[in-house]
Structure 1
Amino acid sequence: MREPTPQDSARALTGWAAEQGIDPAELERIQRGLDPDDPVRSRAGHLQSPAILVPGLAASPWHDPDRYPWVDALESRYPRIRDEFEKQYASDGIGRHPEERELAATGGWNAYHFHTMGTPFPEHLAQCPATAEALAAVPGVADAGICYFSVLAPRTRVKPHCGFVNTRIRCHLPLIVPPDCRMRVGTETRAWREGRCSVFDDSFEHEVANDSDRPRAVLLVDTWHPDLTEIERRAMEFVMRMWTSDVD
């Protein structure tokens, strides 16, 4: 068994489009994004180098939260979401982050998932009703990527890395932020403010640090890049499901 390659995904996408009766021209950008030799990669530069880089999408490391109406649904429920997080954290219900070994240079990284590439976690959603209510207001939250409570242990640093697609926009709702915590996206480093969302494009190189002696916690939420068409979103749902399961 092996992980799919962009070439695997391109071939599978062609077959999926034929089954769905979709004009291949409507998926041209997605197919180009799966081509490791497409010229868009050389233009993007080393700070934006995901495995799948779809051309024609506005590219900026940081986004203005005011651009996204659903941000208010998260921020307005911040106290209740934080309470739900603290309950799960106190009960030891938060497990190891699947990428901890690969990306955590020091310390520890934990996660409590609500959605992962189209797969929901119904028990977790039921245990956190205010969080589930807020997430329901975010377009594509169930299938654009991942959504979870992300916890960095004290003295934890996450290595510089790029997300694997540029078709999503990522949001952090900071729940618990001690001093000496920060995140760099592209060339700019920012700190979090509890209860105020940070919105960014994780296909740009980014790294995270908690240099304090207390845990840092955020609610991490993915949504679709606003420049995608509806058909392109459906295509990316198909492609991302391939990347979360083994293929022969």
Structure 2
Amino acid sequence: MEVISQPITRLDNIRGNFVRLYDALKAQGFHQEAKEILTKAVEQGFFFDPMQRPVNLIEGLESMPVHNSQDFPIVEFLESHFDIIREEVIALQSEVRQQAFCDVEEPLIDAGRWQEIVFFEAGARSKKSCDLFPKTSSVLDALPLEVKEAGVIMLSMLEPQTHIVPHCGHTNGRLRVHMGILIPNDVVLRVKEEYVTWTEGQCLVIDDSYEHEVWHYGETPRIVLIVDIFHPQLSKVDKERLRTKSSSVESRVGEFMEQNHLKVIQRTAEGIRFEPNEYMGKKVARYLSQISCSMVRLSDGSMEMSSEEVPMADMVL
């Protein structure tokens, strides 16, 4: 089905508003009201299932929370190279591993720690990650270009006693392949109403546009290789549209800056410095003028204000 970009963008915005309202109500304890919001969204045709809430929803695709992994040729390829990847992960010293993995940005854990190391994102190859895992990267380099462009390829690590809260992926146009690398006991994944776990050397294929959640009650880190693939029924038009939406990391940085009214992002020795664009700069200047201060710092919900001139280094966010 050919999709026209403008209506889809408008629908994406509406679905996003439903999701944000649902999340906000649920976070404040209004669980019944949150359910009613999803019921209304399904009744009006914005979602097909209250447990499947992708902002970018593509119609006409066969939909199930957990797919038969043997239906996907990539599974045989990944599983045939499991030993190479696992040995390299184990060989990496724990302190180096801690430096290599980065915390997942999304606020999706209420306990523990969730980290990742990305090899490919939207077709862009991370030289730093690939240099750290040369054998693993040689395996991933052999994947078809379409796989590398579909989304993200990464190692995902959960520390013991971690809980990833219920959430939905951005689109049903992609499926997510998980191959177990280091899997302790007592780790559970829920996708909609199906409960599964990982097995070392074997792949799961899930549709993460369904609500999913993870509990890690084990005693050692859980590490899986994650590879995004396009849904097998996705049309060429929709594949190209998803590629365009993902596009390059550079374009997403630009989109982030536009959405947040930023003119400059700079990494310094002190941290990350943000400089607002003209619109936001004038708005902030007006607020500061009205409260007669030159600096405001927000920490744990409390606000600290000062009328003294503050060095730029102290203004780093």
What is the SS of the residue equivalent to 1:141?
helix
Looking at structure 2, the residues matched to 227 and 31 of structure 1 have their Cα atoms a distance apart, in angstroms, of 21
**Deviation for aligned residue 1:34:** 5.6
Q: 1:105 aligns with which of 62, 87, 110?
A: 110
Say if 2:281 is the partner of 1:246.
no
Looking at structure 2, the residues matched to 96 and 176 of structure 1 have their Cα atoms a distance apart, in angstroms, of 18
User: What does the per-residue CA deviation read over 1:81-101, in whole Å, with 9 as the maximum and x for residues that have no partner?
Assistant: 01222234532343233336x
| Partner in structure 2 of residue 171 of structure 1 | 177
| Partner in structure 1 of residue 265 of structure 2 | none
**Deviation for aligned residue 1:142:** 1.9
What is the SS of the residue equivalent to 1:115?
strand
Mean Cα deviation higher: 59-68 or 84-93: 84-93
Say if 2:133 is the partner of 1:128.
yes
**Deviation for aligned residue 1:138:** 5.2
Say if 2:234 is the partner of 1:228.
yes
Paired amino acid for 2:56: I
Q: 2:166 aligns with which of 160, 164, 170?
A: 160
| Partner in structure 2 of residue 16 of structure 1 | none
Q: 2:83 aligns with which of 68, 79, 85?
A: 79
Paired amino acid for 1:121: S
TM-score with structure 1 length normalisation?
0.81
Q: 1:35 aligns with which of 3, 8, 11?
A: 11
Looking at structure 2, the residues matched to 233 and 150 of structure 1 have their Cα atoms a distance apart, in angstroms, of 25
Looking at structure 2, the residues matched to 179 and 151 of structure 1 have their Cα atoms a distance apart, in angstroms, of 15
> Any conservation in 2 of the 1:182–1:210 contact (CA below 8 Å)?
yes
**Deviation for aligned residue 1:184:** 0.4
| Partner in structure 1 of residue 207 of structure 2 | 201
Looking at structure 2, the residues matched to 121 and 51 of structure 1 have their Cα atoms a distance apart, in angstroms, of 27
What is the SS of the residue equivalent to 2:119?
strand
Looking at structure 2, the residues matched to 60 and 49 of structure 1 have their Cα atoms a distance apart, in angstroms, of 13
State the percentage of identical aligned residues: 31
| Partner in structure 1 of residue 59 of structure 2 | 55
Task: Name segments (4+ residues, structure 1) moved above 6 Å.
Answer: none
Higher RCO (C-alpha 8 Å, min separation 6): 1
Call closer, same or farther: CA 1:176–1:52 in 2, change over 3 Å.
same
Looking at structure 1, the residues matched to 6 and 150 of structure 2 have their Cα atoms a distance apart, in angstroms, of 14
Structure 1 unaligned segments of length 5 or more: list them: 1-24
> Any conservation in 1 of the 2:123–2:145 contact (CA below 8 Å)?
no
What is the SS of the residue equivalent to 1:143?
helix
Say if 2:186 is the partner of 1:186.
no
Call closer, same or farther: CA 1:96–1:89 in 2, change over 3 Å.
farther
Which one has the bigger helix percentage? Answer: 2
Q: 1:119 aligns with which of 121, 124, 131?
A: 124
User: What does the per-residue CA deviation read over 1:12-65, in whole Å, with 9 as the maximum and x for residues that have no partner?
Assistant: xxxxxxxxxxxxx832499547614685434x1211001111111111100111
Mean Cα deviation higher: 33-42 or 153-162: 33-42
**Deviation for aligned residue 1:144:** 1.3
